[in-house]
A = this chain, B = another copy of it.
Amino acid sequence: MEDQIFNFIERYFKLTEAEKETLRSFDLFRAYHKGETIIKTGDLISGSYFVLEGCVRCYYLIDGEEKSTSFYTEGQPFEPIRQAGSQISAHYIDCVEDCILSFSKPEMEEVMFSRFPRFESICLKLSEELVSTKQLAFDRFKNASPEQRYLDLLENRPDLLQRVPLGQLASYLGMKPESLSRIRKRVAQKNLS
């Protein structure tokens, strides 16, 4: 289990044995069942997550309707989105499948930063990269037609098509389920002919 986190970090820099030892000393791992809620709108955010196994979904309840906006799977870090200027979650996060997540609190970060200051520099670089990645995803979404968004998903995250109910994927792609069904058929036919 730890190996997956170490591998993720080591995509950026090699960990020393002392660093690994400190990471191991934290109580990082949490198991959730399919359908279980990790955080609700209005809950206090107490830390950040990393997906080791499974798939989680972020969604908003708007006029009684669930609007899914993000899915995170193996190897992806995520943090609940804060309501402006607060530490309060703006949305729900639940488990699309049975999940194993690592959960790290600010106190653990502080220990890491004070013992191994380079962790703070690395976290800053990771965070800056994430700002850019998120803006790029937003820009692509804005500039793409619904069919292009579906093709992007097919190219970049094809596993979601197997793992996530169609209705949730439709709202994630910013369209109605009927439109997504129509686009899927059209694309499948194009690929056949």
**Which A residues contact B (CB, under 8 angstroms)?**
58, 60, 62, 67, 69-70, 79, 81-82, 84, 90-91, 113, 117, 120-121, 123-124, 127-139, 141-143, 171-172, 174
Chain A to chain B contacts (Cβ below 8 Å), 17 pairs: A60-B139, A60-B143, A62-B143, A67-B142, A81-B132, A82-B132, A90-B139, A113-B121, A120-B124, A124-B127, A127-B127, A127-B131, A131-B131, A131-B134, A138-B141, A142-B171, A142-B174
Docked pose: A120 CA to B125 CA in angstroms: 11
Contact A143 B79 (CB under 8 A): no
- Contacts A120-B120, A137-B138 given; does A131 touch B79 at CB 8 Å: yes
Which residues of chain B come closer than 8 Å to A136, judged between CB atoms? Answer: 81-82, 84, 90
Docked pose: A91 CA to B142 CA in angstroms: 14
Q: A60-B143, A69-B143, A70-B139 are in contact. List 10 more A-B contacts (CB 8 A).
A: A67-B142, A69-B138, A69-B139, A79-B128, A117-B117, A120-B124, A124-B127, A138-B141, A141-B141, A142-B174
Q: Name the residue on B nearest A62 (C-beta).
A: B143
Docked pose: A4 CA to B84 CA in angstroms: 22
In the assembled complex, the CB of A79 is this many whole angstroms from the nearest CB of chain B, namely 7
Task: Report how many copies the assembly holds.
Answer: 2
Top-3 shortest CB links A-B: A127-B127, A138-B138, A69-B139
Docked pose: A79 CA to B133 CA in angstroms: 12
Which residues of chain B come closer than 8 Å to A124, judged between CB atoms? Answer: 120, 123-124, 127
In the assembled complex, the CB of A76 is this many whole angstroms from the nearest CB of chain B, namely 13
Docked pose: A130 CA to B133 CA in angstroms: 12
Which residues of chain B come closer than 8 Å to A135, judged between CB atoms? Answer: 70, 81, 134
In the assembled complex, the CB of A50 is this many whole angstroms from the nearest CB of chain B, namely 15
